[in-house]
Amino acid sequence: MIAPELSFAELEENFALLDDWEDRYRYIIDLGKKLPPFPDALKTEDLKVRGCMSQVWLVPGHAKDDPAKFAFAADSDAHIVKGLIAVLASLFSGKTPAEVAGIDAEEALRALGLEQHLSPSRRNGLVAMVAKIKQYAAGLANA
């Protein structure tokens, strides 16, 4: 499971310090490089996120330190998408399923300026990942 290195608030602060989109883009890619390894055995069709231009696999789970809290593991074949996975981990991991359900991901990601700089297909993929995360967290709440 991905244990975020930064809270989303810290991520926002770091974004604010970066002057232009190229710096932010590199920062997102660097975040993705720090993701834990994702086993090839989990790169299956049933764990694939539909709607993403790149290949993305997402596995739900529990936070390491608290089984009542949601976490996930994920991987992609695209560097920028791996970084976006790290951003989503900062937003969603370690929260209760009810907290995950209440997060306005679109607003949070808008605060980072992502909607202005991602292609429409990347935005669609990001929306698909958020939907899958919320679906998995809801399943955890009902388990």
| Known active-site residue 23 | no
Q: Please state, in angstroms and rounded to a whole number, the distance separating the CA atoms of residues 105 and 82.
A: 17
| β 66-76/56-63 pair status | antiparallel
Given 2, 31, 52, 100, which residue is catalytic?
A: 52
Show Cβ contacts of residue 104 under 8 Å, excluding neighbours closer than 6 positions: none
Domains of the chain: 8-142 (3.90.1010.10)
Q: What stretch of H or E contains 129?
A: helix 120-142
Q: For 108-126, how does the pLDDT look when each residue is reduced to its tens digit (9 = 90+)?
A: 999 888 878 888 888 999 9
Report pTM: 0.94
Residues 51-98: pLDDT tens digits? 878 999 999 998 888 888 999 999 999 999 999 999 999 999 999 999
Helix locations, 71-119, DSSP H = 79-92, 97-102, 105-111, 114-117
